[in-house]
């Protein structure tokens, strides 16, 4: 175990939740991914256009499959994967930038109330930052860190090597931290929900 894989204590979870709430995020502390999976179903209305960002947390929890394969939602990811990027790039950009709901995870959450998302392509970041009408982030307990400086270290030293290995295995190309998004507050009441887990999930 390392500082970036150890689950946060209950006290750390509570501090993080309070700081996020002070910044305008709705926050729920849940026991495990099964509870998060059930809660996501409650939070997203049937028929909503949902963009699920590429996330090991979503994949391993089963939430990605719930979004893409259940038929309950207008799933954006399967649609854009099937589109030709050379001829339909503008349509892809619009679909991923402003869905009804974006769901994903982040690389780190600070006890001071910031969410840190890292991306190679940046495809999920417009929706994260404000393009989606609603945003939901599922965050494993190992992603909680004391401050922004530690969050950036977690991105570079922990998340990137794991994502790089995944990208090489799946796509045959390396990953990189080409874009970083730091969300310090949510100015639109009710837009953003953070589901903090008491157990590790994802990278």
| Closest-CA residue to 108 (of 24, 181, 35, 185) | 181
Three-state secondary structure call for residue 19: helix
Check if the beta carbon of residue 51 is closer than 8 Å to that of residue 96. Answer: yes
So what's the pLDDT on residue 43? 98
Specify burial of residue 101 (Cβ count, 10 A radius: 0-12, 13-18, 19+): buried
C-alpha span between 92 and 76 (Å, rounded): 9
Three-state secondary structure call for residue 118: strand
Contacts of residue 31, Cβ cutoff 8 Å, sequence gap at least 6: 197, 198, 199
Query: In what order do the strands lie in the sheet containing 26-30?
Result: 26-30, 192-197, 134-139, 101-104, 49-52, 74-75
Residue at token pair 């001071």: 112
| Closest-CA residue to 141 (of 191, 182, 98, 194) | 194
Give domain limits for the chain. Answer: 10-197
So what's the pLDDT on residue 188? 96
C-alpha span between 58 and 148 (Å, rounded): 24
C-alpha span between 38 and 197 (Å, rounded): 13
Per-residue pLDDT of the chain (203 residues; tens, 9 = 90+): 467 999 999 999 999 999 999 999 999 999 999 999 999 999 999 999 999 998 999 999 999 999 999 999 999 999 999 999 889 999 999 999 999 999 999 999 999 999 999 999 999 999 999 999 999 999 999 999 999 999 999 999 999 999 999 889 988 999 999 999 999 999 999 999 999 999 999 99
So what's the pLDDT on residue 85? 87
- Give one DSSP letter per residue of 31-48, joined into a string: SSHHHHHHHHHHHSPTT-
Q: Find out if CATH 3.40.50.10420 is the number for domain 10-197.
A: yes
So what's the pLDDT on residue 183? 98
């Amino acid at each position: 175990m390392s500082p970036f894989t150890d689950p946060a204590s209950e006290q750390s979870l509570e501090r993080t939740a309070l700081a996020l709430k002070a910044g305008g995020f709705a926050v729920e502390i849940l026991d495990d991914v099964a509870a998060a999976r059930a809660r996501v179903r409650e939070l997203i209305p049937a028929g909503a256009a949902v963009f699920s960002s590429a996330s090991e947390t979503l994949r391993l929890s089963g939430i990605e499959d719930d979004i893409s394969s259940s038929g309950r939602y207008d799933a954006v990811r399967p649609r854009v994967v099937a589109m030709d990027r050379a001829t339909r790039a503008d349509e892809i950009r619009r679909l991923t930038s402003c869905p009804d709901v974006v769901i994903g995870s982040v690389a780190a959450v600070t006890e001071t109330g910031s969410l840190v998302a890292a991306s190679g392509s940046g495809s999920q970041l417009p929706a994260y930052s404000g393009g989606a009408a609603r945003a939901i982030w599922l965050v494993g307990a190992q992603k909680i860190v004391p401050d922004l400086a530690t969050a950036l270290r977690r991105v570079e030293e922990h998340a990137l090597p794991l994502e790089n290995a995944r990208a090489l295995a799946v796509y045959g190309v390396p990953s990189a931290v080409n874009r970083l998004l730091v969300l310090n507050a949510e100015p639109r009441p009710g837009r953003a929900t953070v589901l903090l887990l008491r157990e590790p999930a994802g990278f």
